[in-house]
Structure 1
Amino acid sequence: MDSWEATVEAQIRSAQERGEFDNLPGMGKPIPGRNLPYDESWWIKSFLEREALPTDLLLPTPLLLRRRVEQVPDEVRDLPTEEAVRAYVAVLNREILAWLRNPSGPRVVVRPVNADEVVRGWRERRQARAVPAARPDAGTPATVALQRRSRRWWRLPWRRPAA
Structure 2
Amino acid sequence: MKHILLILGVAALLSSARAQEQPPPTPLAVDLTRSIMKSVFESNAVPFVQPMVTTINATSNARFFTTAYVPEKVDKPYFRVSVNGMAGIISEQQKWFDPSLDLGPRENLYDALVKHGTSTGGVYKIGPLYSDTLGLASVFMRELLRDALAAGYFGIP
TM category, shorter: under 0.3
Larger Rg: 1
TM (normalized to structure 2)?
0.24
> Which structure features the higher share of strand residues?
2
Report 1 or 2 for greater relative contact order, CA contacts < 8 Å, sequence distance ≥ 6. 2
Normalised by the size of structure 1, how large is the TM-score?
0.24
Question: More helix per residue: 1 or 2?
Answer: 1
